[in-house]
Structure 1
């Protein structure tokens, strides 16, 4: 299946949902372990526990300094990275299509930085910090100035990034936006650079496929949704989305 076919589907669409995962940020140098990627692989932490436990909501409440230790490592590995051509292509597609949304699992904030406005960052954004004890919020470029376990300047309670830690619920407000847009329907649903392991990531694609809506997957490797999509592009996000944009751009 070709980029040309995918581009024509999107060029003829009035609405599109793009679902993105770690693969779209790989070209920016972001590791791909569960969204923060080759940082840990199957290796445990210095404390001998799985990284998922160290980066969990219960651990943050019990030992925030431990969770912050690994949040800092993740941010350090991502520091200095910027949106790549795939993010830019999606922002251009949003400007071109009557209705276009991005549902992303990534916490790097690259979709908005590249110009996309209709973004559901379902797992949050590592650049947004908020206080666990008051209403203080802050947007930071990086964590270079932060203490190992930063505290609020107003109330001295611990700050945390606005991200969903393991074992925490997804934000209800974002789920409501997602459901609202899914209820409106899309002409095409595109999965980009995600293994689609979470039900809320896989189901919009699978549901669209069940109802005959065109579906596209961009991923070098097969995933759990590969059997269901109408078009599969076994390639990286930059190659696919830049190619799709060039086709859409040609449409009068």
Structure 2
């Protein structure tokens, strides 16, 4: 692969779209899901598999157990944006990056300063009462003991994250699809591209500068124009500097 050619292509682009997964945040100390050290392989002592705990049925039936897992494994309040997040901010402020489409729920893109962020799976930063729909920040959930309850009506507070058995927001999906269709460069990073329907969105890209940055192989490797197995932060910084 000619990295200089790729860098030149990125520098000349004005409709870049970034599609990121859990690997984008691992350099911030947040574990991913499916790698050998990921969340789905680090719970051998748990009575339930993470996929079951993070389902809507489990949330409704075992809310206490859900929050015990969620607070200890899914929330990382001390995590800071890394080189990857910072490089994307640079591209956006130059007017080259049109949108970030993320499968992550950590809110680090916004914390870094990115503005056009489409969160396919929601965010831990936002929460709501299931009864009266009053919104609550992450700090309220973290400060609560056990299951967080609404100050207004006493209802259960639910994170604004998409659980298993729940549908993705169609408005977010449609907006993401529109950006992907008009992109001149697509950078996909830190995702196994196995979770549907999110992963299928990348097939909407019709250009010839599909960049795939991931430590492991993905089902889309054969369709990418550039496949890079390296640190996402290091690669992105090299592309924008």
Question: With structure 1 as the length reference, what TM-score do the two structures score?
Answer: 0.87
Out of 214, 234, 237, the position equivalent to 1:239 is 234
State how far apart, in whole Å, the 2-side matches of 1:83 and 1:179 are: 26
SS at 2:4 equivalent: helix
Which residue of 2 is the match for residue 187 of structure 1? 184
Which residue of 2 is the match for residue 28 of structure 1? 28
Does the 8 A contact of 1:16 with 1:101 survive in 2? Answer: yes
State how far apart, in whole Å, the 2-side matches of 1:142 and 1:229 are: 42
SS at 2:41 equivalent: coil
Does the 8 A contact of 1:75 with 1:142 survive in 2? Answer: no
In structure 2, list runs of 5 or more residues that go unmatched: none
State how far apart, in whole Å, the 2-side matches of 1:2 and 1:132 are: 52
Out of 224, 230, 241, the position equivalent to 2:225 is 230
State how far apart, in whole Å, the 2-side matches of 1:133 and 1:25 are: 33
Displacement of 1:212 after TM fit? 4.2
Does the 8 A contact of 1:18 with 1:102 survive in 2? Answer: yes
State how far apart, in whole Å, the 2-side matches of 1:100 and 1:117 are: 10
Displacement of 1:176 after TM fit? 2.6
In structure 1, list runs of 5 or more residues that go unmatched: 247-252
Out of 212, 219, 233, the position equivalent to 2:214 is 219
State how far apart, in whole Å, the 2-side matches of 1:245 and 1:141 are: 34
State how far apart, in whole Å, the 2-side matches of 1:54 and 1:45 are: 14
Which residue of 1 is the match for residue 68 of structure 2? 69
More displaced stretch, 162-171 vs 133-142: 133-142
Q: What is the number of equivalent residue pairs in this alignment?
A: 240
State how far apart, in whole Å, the 2-side matches of 1:54 and 1:204 are: 26
Out of 84, 89, 94, the position equivalent to 2:82 is 84
- 1:71-117 Cα offsets, whole Å, 9 max, x none, are 111245x2311111110100110111355110000111000111111
Q: How does 1:4-43 map to 2 (within 5 A)?
A: 4-33=4-33, 38-41=38-41, 43=43
Which residue of 1 is the match for residue 56 of structure 2? 57
Question: With structure 2 as the length reference, what TM-score do the two structures score?
Answer: 0.91
State how far apart, in whole Å, the 1-side matches of 2:49 and 2:98 are: 37
State how far apart, in whole Å, the 2-side matches of 1:49 and 1:39 are: 13
SS at 2:230 equivalent: coil
State how far apart, in whole Å, the 1-side matches of 2:216 and 2:38 are: 16
Flag as ranges the 4+ runs of structure 1 deviating above 6 A.
Answer: none
Displacement of 1:132 after TM fit? 0.7
Which residue of 2 is the match for residue 249 of structure 1? none
Q: How does 1:53-132 map to 2 (within 5 A)?
A: 53-75=52-74, 78-132=76-130
Displacement of 1:181 after TM fit? 2.5
- 1:123-144 Cα offsets, whole Å, 9 max, x none, are 1111211111112102234854
